[in-house]
């Protein structure tokens, strides 16, 4: 005899995903200080989650803007990228406790979104600085700050993709990005 099927609760993460049309209103409703970061987040790894946890610790809420699939392809990360669709990447990020809202952006950079929401803290990884980060000048001019979080764990999605490819014996996809 089998037990009756349990009624499972619905996942909570979908409520933390905004679409482009509602993003600004949803961002405005978040707790301040507002922390903002962005990226592709194709294969989430230890470096990503450490970075996101540290970013969240800088304020009252964390917004993560995610490149759409078309935007990722324009970054020239390789013809096979992104490996995960935008919906999947946003779902994984939204499931993290440190992330308050995930929003997509289709432009090459999130400059317009950053300027529209003017976060209190704009965060990027340790390979960026205030002069190389889009929107940083506007955030600082409005009284906010820019923070570059140093890499604690040297991880790279591109390097991970190469390791997987090497392990499988697959041929690398052509990329126009310089080594």
DSSP assigned state of 40: -
Q: Measure the CA angle with vertex 116, ends 115 and 119; round to 5°.
A: 70
Please, what's the b/e burial string for 150-179 (b: 16 or more CB within 10 A of its CB; e: otherwise)?
eeeeebebeeebeeeeeeeeeeeeeeeeee
Q: Tens-digit pLDDT profile for the chain (179 aa)?
A: 677 778 999 999 999 999 999 999 999 999 999 999 999 999 898 999 999 999 999 999 999 999 999 999 998 777 788 999 999 999 999 999 999 999 999 999 999 999 999 999 999 998 999 999 999 999 999 999 999 999 876 666 666 667 767 787 766 554 444 33
State the pTM of this model: 0.86
Every domain of the chain and the residues it spans = 34-168
Residue-level pLDDT at 38 = 97
Q: Measure the CA angle with vertex 51, ends 113 and 94; round to 5°.
A: 60
Residue-level pLDDT at 173 = 52
Q: Which CATH number, 3.40.50.620, 3.40.50.720, 3.40.50.1100, 3.40.50.1220, labels domain 34-168?
A: 3.40.50.620
pLDDT in tens, 85-99: 999 999 999 999 999
Residue-level pLDDT at 158 = 64
């Amino acid at each position: 005899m089998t037990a009756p099927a349990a009624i499972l609760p619905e996942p909570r993460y979908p409520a933390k995903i905004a679409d482009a049309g509602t993003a600004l209103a949803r961002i405005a409703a978040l707790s301040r200080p507002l922390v903002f970061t962005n990226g592709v987040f194709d294969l989430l790894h230890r470096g990503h989650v450490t970075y996101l946890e540290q970013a969240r610790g800088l304020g009252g809420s964390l917004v993560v803007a995610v490149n759409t699939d078309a935007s990722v392809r324009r970054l020239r990360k390789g013809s096979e990228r992104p490996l995960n669709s935008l919906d999947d990447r946003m779902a994984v990020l939204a499931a993290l406790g440190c992330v308050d809202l995930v929003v997509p952006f289709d432009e090459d950079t999130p400059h317009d979104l950053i300027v529209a929401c003017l976060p209190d803290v704009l965060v990027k990884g340790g390979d960026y600085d205030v002069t190389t980060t889009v929107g940083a000048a506007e955030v600082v001019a409005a009284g906010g700050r820019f923070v570059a979080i140093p890499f604690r764990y040297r991880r790279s999605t591109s390097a991970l993709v190469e390791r997987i490819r090497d392990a499988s014996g697959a041929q690398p996809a052509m990329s126009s990005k310089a080594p």
